[in-house]
């Protein structure tokens, strides 16, 4: 393959350093991120849960992230917190089931998200 400096239309071309490339490794991940917010499922119970989360669980280092296909995803900052919260999921489910407007089945998932 020819050196890029020898091709006239590529003279002066320098690839971007990884820090300047952006947060997406591919076009598909950029599209997923761009349209992800547009395709979120709306649920009144989840919206009220987000608003009341800190009053319900003030010392819990997780927060409700999204509602998708009947599942409530709780965002945790790292794996250590994930393992710390996992044994408490049953008590969190019981507390959420007692709230007005709660669905019949509550499915909680933990997701590491910064």
Whole-angstrom distance, CA of residue 44 vs CA of residue 32 = 24
Residues 52 and 79 in one domain: yes
> CA geometry: angle at 24 spanning 19 and 29, to 5°?
175
Task: Return the CATH number at 48.
Answer: 3.30.300.180
Query: What are the residues facing 109 on neighbouring strands?
Result: 73
Instruction: Kindly report the pTM of this predicted structure.
Output: 0.64
Residue 88 domain boundaries: 44-112
CB atoms within 10 A of CB 72: 22
The verdict on 70 and 87 lying in the same domain is: yes
- Look up tokens 């509550």; give the residue: 106
What is the count of structural domains for the chain?
2
- Within this chain, do residues 76 and 57 fall inside the same structural domain, yes or no? yes
98 contacts: CB under 8 Å, gap ≥ 6: none
Same domain? For 67 and 97 the reply is: yes
Residue pLDDT, tens place only, 89-107: 999 999 999 999 999 999 9
52/95 same-domain check: yes
Task: Express each pLDDT in 24-83 by its tens digit.
Answer: 778 887 787 777 666 666 788 999 999 999 999 999 999 999 888 889 999 999 999 999
């Amino acid at each position: 393959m020819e050196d890029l400096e020898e091709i006239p239309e590529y003279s002066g071309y320098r690839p971007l350093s990884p820090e300047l490339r952006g947060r997406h490794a591919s076009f598909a991940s950029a599209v997923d991120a761009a349209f992800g917010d547009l395709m979120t499922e709306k649920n009144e119970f989840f919206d009220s849960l987000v608003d009341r989360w800190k009053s319900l669980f003030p010392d819990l280092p997780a927060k409700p992230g999204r509602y998708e296909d009947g599942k409530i995803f709780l965002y945790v900052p790292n794996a250590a917190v994930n393992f710390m919260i996992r044994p408490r999921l049953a008590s969190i489910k019981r507390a959420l089931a007692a709230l007005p407007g709660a669905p019949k089945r509550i499915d909680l998932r933990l997701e590491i998200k910064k």
